[in-house]
Amino acid sequence: MDLLENGDKQKVLICGNVEGNFKFLFTKVDAINKKNGPFDFLFCVGNFFGANNSQLVPYQKGSKSIPVPTYIIGPYRPEDVEHYPKENGCEICPNLTYLGKSGVYTSSSGLKIAYLSGVQRKSPEDPEECTFSEKDVISIKNTCIKIPSFRGVDILLSSQWPDFITNLDQSKPTFEYNGSRLISWLATHIKPRYHACGMENIYYERPPYRNQNESQDGINIATRFIALATIGNQDKKKWIFAFNLTPVDKFKTSDLMMKTTDETPSPYPAALLQQNPSAKRKEEKSQFFYDMDSNDKKKLKRRKVEFDKDKCWFCLDSKICSKHLIISTGNDIYLTLPRGGIVEDHFLLVPIGHHQASSVISDGARKELQAYKEAIKKYYALSDRVPVFFERNFKSSHFQIQAVPVHKNQASSLKDTFIEISNVYHKPLREMNNDLQEVAPAGTLYFYAELPDGVQQKTIAMMREIEEDLHKKTRVKPSVDEMDDEVKLLARKRHRDRLGYPLSGKHLAACKRPCSSKRRPRHVAIMRPKCTGEINRELARRKRKSAQTFHLMTMIFFGTG
């Protein structure tokens, strides 16, 4: 599913050192473009030209054409300088453009690409044509921060790798590389969403890291670092990489802030945010984002990664995820049965990505979520039922939207019931007129419910914000005497009917028993979960029903039934 409109999404290819193998490159790109394209860009990092560049002549003369608009950066070897006629960039042949030594290129679609050619200059004698200095990285940074409402660039291209980039990678890479501190400084300040490098003939895709800001008001977007090997290398290392990218300026802030399960803090020293790029690192201590105040030089203190997918019940990659209960899987959302449902045909809508709340998911995921809700409505309608959707965003790192069916004859009274019971517990709900993402930005804790109207066949959205320190406060639990007769009678009836399903005699008797003042009155629980024994007895039946439900839901969802 697209995050935004299809017209905003760009298809991008990036390749490593070409070394003059133009025929092999463009033949491969043409095949990829025909199969998965059309692609909008091909960016080449590392050495584009090699010792023999005769394969480029047919493309220069026009007898052959380059299938995808191709952009290259400058050389890092003195012998290749002659192939770049202008330092500020030029067209080498149709569909092949030299971006220039350094700068920021903005495409017609709004994609922002920062680029830095060459390797870091070590001495004044190094040739300027194939090296860069502090002046170059400062110039790129200044160009970026002048952009109105600057939040970061989409892509950073460099031949040389940044220093420190393998820090905090749990795979602990053992390869050696020639890293540049100036590139680390630049990446820290311009916050690219993708950073691509070549030169080392190494394929390395680092887990995404979260950028940092000097102030707490900044937007900390994530960066994906990709290093690519030389084209056609003997070890068959990956040398080309494809991805879709929507310009950063067309993204919602909540989408940029979404985290992944393998994300790490920034690997770069915290001092890079405040120092000049040429400032020397103090030998006695290096402050990293994950080690801001350590006095121990021998051991760095790493900040704990927020999410551990192996311990999450709802991440599909987790070993403890109950995959046998899954009914349907989409691009961003999957439909499953709960481990212990409230009633029959109780469903869960869960994001495939590890997201804390539905209020911060992407537009594409939100559209797919709504499509699943419509399918569930049609499924319930086959048996004269309507759904109650609700979400509790509190003490949960992977959200679930509950779908509970009630008989359609009860739909008209659901709103009043929710309001009355919430008032009894001094947790009033309020009806919403705006979308959830507008009233619940990232970090907001809430209870949210969508109730069927029962009259006009519309949905009533209700919400209550939860205080962050709610678990530290004493809850007010009213006794039976504090409730008037009308509320008691209504609550007893709702519990007895059990949302359209009658209670057993044992449970009905328990409902009529006097309640202890130290416990929540049982007869005001609208959706009390079944006891453990019932869950265990019904688990096998639910597994069998999952397959049957899958076929019916598939027909409804895809309109084949």
> Which one, of 213, 437, 226, 210, lies nearest residue 307 by Cα?
210
User: pLDDT for 424-481, tens place per residue?
Assistant: 777 788 887 777 767 776 667 888 889 887 655 556 776 676 654 333 333 334 444 4
CA gap 506, 530 in Å, rounded: 12
User: pLDDT for 229-278, tens place per residue?
Assistant: 999 999 999 999 999 998 988 877 767 777 777 889 999 988 888 767 76
User: pLDDT for 541-557, tens place per residue?
Assistant: 655 555 455 444 444 44
Residue spans per domain, the chain: 11-269, 317-558
CB-CB neighbours of 61 under 10 Å: 9
CA gap 353, 331 in Å, rounded: 10
pLDDT at 318 over 90: no
Q: How many CA atoms lie within 13 A of 308 on its CB side?
A: 7
Per DSSP, the residues of 344-404 read: TT-EEEEESS--S-GGGS-HHHHHHHHHHHHHHHHHHHTTTEEEEEEEEESS-SS--EEEE
pLDDT at 302 over 80: no
> What six digits make up the tokens of 176?
């050696």
Distance, first Cα to last Cα, the chain:
23
pLDDT at residue 117, as a whole number: 95
Q: How many CA atoms lie within 13 A of 430 on its CB side?
A: 9
CB-CB neighbours of 151 under 10 Å: 17
CB-CB neighbours of 190 under 10 Å: 24
Average pLDDT over residues 304-324: 71
DSSP 471: G
Beta-bridge mates of residue 102:
116
Q: How many CA atoms lie within 13 A of 479 on its CB side?
A: 5
User: pLDDT for 201-235, tens place per residue?
Assistant: 999 999 999 998 765 555 788 999 999 999 999 99
Average pLDDT over residues 341-354: 89
pLDDT band, very low/low/confident/very high, at 524 (cuts 50, 70, 90)? very low
pLDDT at residue 7, as a whole number: 54
pLDDT at residue 201, as a whole number: 93
> What six digits make up the tokens of 221?
């977007």
pLDDT at 528 over 50: no
Count H helices and E strands in the chain, helices first: 11, 26
Q: What is the CATH architecture assignment of 11-269?
A: 4-Layer Sandwich (3.60)
pLDDT band, very low/low/confident/very high, at 298 (cuts 50, 70, 90)? very low
pLDDT band, very low/low/confident/very high, at 197 (cuts 50, 70, 90)? very high
Per DSSP, the residues of 346-361 read: -EEEEESS--S-GGGS
- The residue type found at 134 is E
In Å, how far are 421, 424, 486, 521 from 483, measured between CA atoms? 10, 8, 8, 11
**Do the beta carbons of residue 463 and residue 446 sit within 8 Å?**
yes
In Å, how far are 10, 30, 48, 96, 388 from 6, measured between CA atoms? 8, 22, 31, 26, 32
CA gap 334, 327 in Å, rounded: 8
pLDDT at residue 482, as a whole number: 42
Beta-carbon contacts of residue 384 (< 8 Å; ≥ 6 apart): 407, 408
Q: Which helix (H) or strand (E) holds 534?
A: helix 532-558
